Amino acid sequence: MNHAQTLQAGIAEMGLAISSSEQEKLLAYIGLLKKWNKTYNLTALRDESQMVSHHLLDSLTLLPYVAGAQTMLDVGSGGGQPGIPTAICRPDLQITLLDANTKKTSFLQQAAIELELKNVRVVSGRVEAVSDMQADVITSRAFAELADFVGWTAQLLKPDGYWAAMKGVYPHEEIARLPQNITVEKVDTLHVPQLNAERHMVILRQTAAQAV
């Protein structure tokens, strides 16, 4: 199978509705990632078929969890996962990509321009650099321990918003260390086609009485 077929088969297996033009953009994003990776070291993966499973299909597991959202913040976006694949498939969702590494944010900015992602804003810096928004959902992929993730970003979440943290193995210990005002709504085991590794989605909310 070529990369387009691998992607198409993976999307079908995940039961997602993603148009052929969106699939072309997803592959174009991988092309950009591969091109810039030589200089900017955005990902440890060099193999394009691995990028399809690890970067595209893995990121697309987020889509069902942002179905009702209008604004999203992707913290520690790195090479753009899950923010850019999500932006491609949800052009109506306003997405802010945040990373402290200026090389990575340069790439994100260029990718947003080349892929014509008008719904993407790139911010370079730490969480404090995004003081002008409150998001419906804040996500990250393997960015930080859960307690740190919610502690650093709580002020950027709408009162009725939630966190969608993408994790590998089930984060029992991290969940145990969460502050008392954070509720674990659910932890879902995810299946990512062609990816032989554990993946979990952790949905967290602030307890109503404590919400700021």
* Strand duo 135-141 + 157-167: pairing: parallel
Taking the C-alpha atoms of residue 163 and residue 8, their distance in angstroms, rounded to an integer, is 28
User: How many percent of the chain have pLDDT more than 90?
Assistant: 83
Confidence band, pLDDT 50/70/90 cuts, at residue 211: very low
Distances (CA, A) of 153 to 20, 134, 148, 150: 35, 10, 8, 5
Both tokens assigned to 151: 């502690």
Confidence band, pLDDT 50/70/90 cuts, at residue 21: very high
At residue 170, φ and ψ (nearest 5 deg) are -55, 120
Confidence band, pLDDT 50/70/90 cuts, at residue 132: confident
- Residue 171, preceding peptide bond in cis (omega within 30° of 0): no
pTM, whole model, 2 decimals? 0.94
Is 141 annotated in some ligand binding site? yes
Is 120 annotated in some ligand binding site? no
Average pLDDT, integer, range 121-131: 92
Which strands make up the sheet holding 157-167, listed edge to edge?
A: 120-124, 94-99, 71-75, 135-141, 157-167, 199-206, 182-190
Taking the C-alpha atoms of residue 59 and residue 171, their distance in angstroms, rounded to an integer, is 18
Residue 44, pLDDT > 90, answer: no
pLDDT of residue 25: 98
190 closest CA partner among 173, 162, 167, 171: 167
User: How many percent of the chain have pLDDT more than 70?
Assistant: 94
Is 125 annotated in some ligand binding site? no
Taking the C-alpha atoms of residue 57 and residue 9, their distance in angstroms, rounded to an integer, is 10
Both tokens assigned to 181: 């005002």
Is 76 annotated in some ligand binding site? yes
Is 128 annotated in some ligand binding site? yes
Tens digit of each residue's pLDDT (9 = 90 or more) over 77-110 = 999 999 999 999 999 999 999 999 999 999 999 9
User: Mean of the per-residue pLDDT values for the chain?
Assistant: 93
CATH architecture of 3-210: 3-Layer(aba) Sandwich (3.40)
Both tokens assigned to 174: 């991290």
pLDDT of residue 46: 67
